[in-house]
Structure 1
Amino acid sequence: MDITIQSSFLPSDDPEASLAFYRDALGFEVRGDVGSGQMRWITVGPPGQPNTSIVLHPPAVDPGITDDERAVITEMMAKGTYAGINLAAADLDAAFERVQASGADVMQEPMDQDWGARDFAVRDPAGNSVRIQQA
């Protein structure tokens, strides 16, 4: 069986700020941008990997979600505990410098982890955890 990851979804409550983070700070390509205002679905992905994307979507827009569930999602996003993604970079230090220069909320500077990885962690504008490790 040959299964690959095509897309992953992350909530975005500020499409313009999220677009600036993923496009400008991380260097991702914009592959799609549909909707308007706060109801935008923006698809981004790493250059050279056209079959792998992240879809930045409005949180809690499913009509089946209750107001209480929306409140929990909003609270979790504010704490940075709702969603996250792990990425990799060939030059971790250069990636950290670029992301830090963008003004991103740094949770952890580059460091060697006990499990063998060297990584850093930031929050994107929606509060999602973004960990980037040395490739």
Structure 2
Amino acid sequence: MTGDAPANGMTDHAQGVLEIVGPDIEGSLAFYAALGFEVARRSGTFAVVHRGDLRLFLAQDDNAATAPRWTSLRVMVVDVDALHDDARARGVAILHSPQDRPFGLREFVVRDPNGLDIRFCQPIASMP
């Protein structure tokens, strides 16, 4: 990657959207509506909801577990050490590095293929 060019198809406006899968789309829609989310789009057992710029995908799978889950995503960012050195020069893996935290942030982390985590972040040094 050279200069300020975005990485393979990513732009300054790329957005990650968390998809939450459960066995009851109507119950999910009612819950998120109670939190002030509005339905942007609905197609059977899939919906896109948003509150301001925050967008979530909701989907139904009749076999989805409803047990409590430890979930993370976070994201924010405008550098976190140049998106942790372009996700360790694209070999990714990581699962922590940069740091700072308690809890003016900075962070990093990453995990997925489907163990989720993620967390990038920033503020600290960018806080006035």
Smaller-chain TM-score range? 0.3 to 0.5
Greater Rg, structure 1 or structure 2?
Answer: 2
Structure number with higher helix proportion? 1
Structure with bigger strand share is 1
TM-score (norm 2): 0.42
Q: Which has the higher contact order (CA 8 A, sep 6+)?
A: 1
